[in-house]
Amino acid sequence: MDSLLKDGSLAGAIPEVAILVPARNEEASLGDCLASLTAQTGVAFEIIVVDDGSTDRTREIAQSFAEVRVISPDPLPHGWTGKNNAGIAGAKEARAQWLLFTDADTVHLPGSLARTLAEAKTEGADLLSYSPEQVAVTFAERAVMPVVFAELAAKYPPQRVREQNSGIIAANGQYLLVRRAAYDSVGGHTAVATEILEDVALARLFRKNGKHVYFRYGGDAVRTRMYRNWAQLREGWTKNLALLFTQPEQLAVRSLFLWLVAWSALGVAVSGAVSQHLARIAFALFWLLLYRRIRAAHFSPVNNLIAIAFGLLMFAYLLLRSKRAHADGQVSWKGRAYRTGIRTDSTPAKMQAESPIPRIENQGVRAKS
């Protein structure tokens, strides 16, 4: 006889949610991610980890969880991105009516899966995406990440994204919960297999086909540390920034201008304090205006100040570096080089592998609810 799960369902029953985790060289974060996922309660689920050709201990860590099952799909088709191929492979193995695509560097709060599923049903969402709480540790993370996410919040306001006729569409691939029937009907990741920004492309595909897209800040459900050092941060945002912002050069100039004005205003304010000139002290209010904008990214007050002092300049550099890399026709990520071109409209640019990409191996995990 089948044993009972925590929610009272049979262990052999089809779960309600399949959690799909693509992972390429994620030994630093995968263990914490899977620990937080396998501890979820309140809903029957399965976990599928897709080992995307890792050369570190990623596979070993995934297998250390009792329910892990390893599978190996076919080699990556030419022109597809690794993450999209991993998503496709995981979806093929999934048995559930809901699919949660989440990154290996995420940590999920207790009970968040059940709450998210309930929210998706209440909102009538076919695709629900959270922008996770971003964890910043190193100086580069603390300086750059608040600026990036403040600009994203300004360009893609979650409340406007939730308006189905707003023309503004966004999603965060770190947390994508989709209704399986809707996902299959629009072609899933196969339909966006060559896209760099597969999350935005997938959300746009859902919206185009009349499906309901729901997006919000999800710090109450999930957090993530995207990059762990300057090299990772530089490579990651070089790959993405020129696609997220349609006019990266203009944004870079504006960011540099704001940085120069901020330091000039601070200098005037300090001199006013020394000379007891109240009018000059008022120049410090410019920092308050910048602070109000950057706090939309949900970072700590100290990180916001670091972002104003140093991050605006670093963001301008990364924008120009991203534009240059895409204009030159190549970006790289985790040891893979890709040919690419700057987009000319609102559709994310396509990306092709410069050479055949190693095959991807999948791991399936069935977890208790």
In a domain, 63, yes or no: yes
| 217 in the same domain as 172 | yes
* Core vs surface per residue 263-277: b (16+ CB within 10 A) or e: bebbebbeebeeeee
| 224 in the same domain as 318 | no
Spans of the chain, pLDDT less than 50: 1-10, 342-369
């689920």: which residue's tokens?
Answer: 45
In a domain, 3, yes or no: no
| 211 in the same domain as 298 | no
Q: For residues 230 and 232, what is the distance between their CA atoms, to the nearest angstrom? A: 6
Sheet holding 106-108, edge to edge: 106-108, 222-224, 133-134
| 130 in the same domain as 114 | yes
| 194 in the same domain as 58 | yes
Q: For residues 46 and 68, what is the distance between their CA atoms, to the nearest angstrom? A: 10
pLDDT in tens, 114-129: 999 999 999 999 999 9
| 192 in the same domain as 335 | no
Query: What pLDDT score was predicted for residue 338?
Result: 76
In a domain, 69, yes or no: yes
Which domain does 273 fall in, by range?
Answer: 244-352
In a domain, 235, yes or no: no
| 222 in the same domain as 171 | yes
In a domain, 49, yes or no: yes
| 286 in the same domain as 182 | no
| 291 in the same domain as 163 | no
Q: Which residues contact 297 (CB under 8 A, 6 or more apart)?
A: 134, 145, 146, 147, 148, 149, 150, 152, 153, 304
Q: How many domains does the chain divide into?
A: 2
| 168 in the same domain as 219 | yes
In a domain, 10, yes or no: no
> Which bin fits 296, alpha (ψ -120 to 50), beta or left (φ > 0)?
alpha
| 257 in the same domain as 216 | no
In this prediction the pTM is 0.86
Sheet holding 127-131, edge to edge: 68-71, 361-365, 45-51, 17-23, 98-102, 175-179, 127-131, 213-217
Q: For residues 249 and 201, what is the distance between their CA atoms, to the nearest angstrom? A: 23
Query: What pLDDT score was predicted for residue 151?
Result: 97
Q: What CATH number is associated with residue 80?
A: 3.90.550.10
The Cα-based distances of 112 to 36, 130, 303, 333, 349 in angstroms read 10, 11, 26, 30, 33
Query: What pLDDT score was predicted for residue 292?
Result: 94
| 260 in the same domain as 206 | no
Q: Are strands 133-134 and 336-340 parallel, antiparallel or unpaired?
A: unpaired
In a domain, 273, yes or no: yes
